[in-house]
């Protein structure tokens, strides 16, 4: 990798290396390395953990009322191979990765290899600039996905809020009853109601069962006084 390519990558990454040997190693795949210890595999291992920690902290701060299970669900989506490979493609990491003959046509180049390369880059920044530099890089790359996760979770939040309220204040779990459904198979509507400790709350209709349950959770929250219209 020549100096010009290193500078281009640094500009794309938004980070300038003090020691660009970290960057070079992060972009060396095991298929071309003379020794696996000279490849980016160990960097992937560390980068995965740094990524997980940064995303966990971000979610912990953005969703202060979420239980562990809710946070784990959102985190799994964000640090998935799919999201990591998308970000790697946006940064042009795959085209800069040094791989062995024949690997360029492998489907893994756009999947697991791309995702692993992003993790290796995170580790490279961590080694070169410390945790704060790696944290800033991760948050910058993942911010659009964090925002989307926040929007998605708020949209689907009534069920989560009702479950939390029910467990904390009523010492019970929430169940949903399917009361009715209408329409042809390709265009059904569903009526659902939230049930807590045998008490059924006002039902609601939706185009899907999930939608009906969300609206039913909203009705229950209204009746319980947790939210107001």
Q: Is residue 61 part of a domain?
A: yes
What is the C-alpha separation between 3 and 136, in angstroms, rounded? 24
Q: Are residues 68 and 135 in the same domain?
A: yes
Identify the CATH number of the domain in which residue 185 sits.
3.30.160.20
What is the C-alpha separation between 82 and 122, in angstroms, rounded? 17
Do 10 and 93 meet the contact criterion of CB atoms below 8 Å apart?
no
Q: Are residues 83 and 178 in the same domain?
A: no
- Say if strands 199-200 and 204-206 run parallel, antiparallel, or are unpaired: unpaired
Residue 173: count other Cβ atoms within 10 Å of its Cβ: 11
What phi and psi values does residue 39 have, to the nearest 5 degrees?
Answer: -95, -175
- Our count of domains for the chain comes to 2
Active site residue 211: no
- Residue ranges of E strands in the chain: 174-182, 189-196, 199-200, 204-206
What is the C-alpha separation between 145 and 155, in angstroms, rounded? 15
Q: Are residues 145 and 166 in the same domain?
A: no
Q: Are residues 125 and 168 in the same domain?
A: no
Residue 223: count other Cβ atoms within 10 Å of its Cβ: 12
Q: Are residues 188 and 145 in the same domain?
A: no
Do 205 and 215 meet the contact criterion of CB atoms below 8 Å apart?
yes
User: Using one digit for the tens of pLDDT, what is the confidence trace for 203-229?
Assistant: 999 989 988 999 999 999 999 988 876
pLDDT given for residue 97 in this prediction: 84
Identify the CATH number of the domain in which residue 92 sits.
1.10.1520.10
Q: Is residue 229 part of a domain?
A: no
Q: Are residues 13 and 103 in the same domain?
A: yes
Q: Are residues 9 and 67 in the same domain?
A: yes
pLDDT given for residue 31 in this prediction: 74
pLDDT given for residue 69 in this prediction: 81
Do 17 and 23 meet the contact criterion of CB atoms below 8 Å apart?
yes
pLDDT given for residue 4 in this prediction: 84
Report the C-alpha dihedral over residues 103, 106, 112, 116, rounded to 10 degrees.
Answer: 20
What is the C-alpha separation between 165 and 225, in angstroms, rounded? 11
CB neighbour class for 71 (10 Å; exposed up to 12, middle 13-18, buried from 19) = middle
Q: Are residues 146 and 167 in the same domain?
A: no
What is residue 202's DSSP assignment?
P
Report the C-alpha dihedral over residues 11, 12, 16, 22, rounded to 10 degrees.
Answer: -140
Domain edge (last residue) among 137, 153, 169? 153
Domain edge (last residue) among 107, 131, 153? 153
Domain edge (last residue) among 123, 153, 183? 153
Active site residue: 119, 152, 156, 229, which one?
119
Active site residue 48: yes
Q: The tokens of 156 are what?
A: 């689907």
Q: Are residues 68 and 176 in the same domain?
A: no
Q: Are residues 189 and 116 in the same domain?
A: no
What is the C-alpha separation between 124 and 40, in angstroms, rounded? 9
User: Using one digit for the tens of pLDDT, what is the confidence trace for 55-69?
Assistant: 999 999 988 877 788
Q: Are residues 164 and 68 in the same domain?
A: no
Q: Which portions of the chain are predicted below pLDDT 70?
A: 1, 34, 102-106, 108, 151-156, 229
Q: Is residue 103 part of a domain?
A: yes
Structural domain boundaries enclosing 44: 3-153
Active site residue: 48, 152, 177, 223, which one?
48
Element (H, E) at 188: none
Q: Are residues 178 and 91 in the same domain?
A: no
């Amino acid at each position: 990798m020549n100096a010009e390519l290193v500078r281009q990558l640094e500009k794309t990454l938004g980070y300038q290396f003090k020691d660009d040997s970290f960057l070079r190693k992060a972009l060396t795949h095991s298929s071309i390395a003379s020794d696996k210890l000279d490849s980016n595999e160990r960097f992937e291992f560390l980068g995965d953990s740094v990524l997980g920690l940064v995303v966990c902290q971000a979610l912990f701060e953005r969703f202060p009322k979420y239980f562990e299970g809710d946070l784990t669900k959102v985190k799994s989506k964000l640090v998935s191979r799919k999201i990591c490979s998308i970000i790697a493609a946006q940064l042009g990491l795959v085209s800069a990765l040094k791989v062995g003959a024949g690997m360029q046509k492998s489907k893994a180049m756009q999947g697991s290899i791309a995702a692993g390369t992003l993790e290796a880059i995170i580790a490279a920044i961590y080694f070169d600039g410390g945790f704060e530099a790696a944290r800033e890089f991760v948050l910058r790359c993942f911010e659009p996905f964090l925002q989307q996760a926040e929007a998605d979770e708020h949209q689907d939040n009534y069920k989560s809020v009702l479950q939390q309220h029910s467990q904390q204040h009523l010492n019970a779990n929430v169940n949903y009853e399917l009361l009715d459904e209408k329409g042809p198979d390709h265009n059904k509507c569903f009526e659902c109601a939230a049930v807590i400790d045998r008490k059924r709350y006002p039902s609601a209709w939706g185009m899907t069962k999930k939608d009906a349950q969300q609206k039913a959770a909203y009705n229950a929250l209204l009746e319980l006084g947790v939210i107001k219209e």
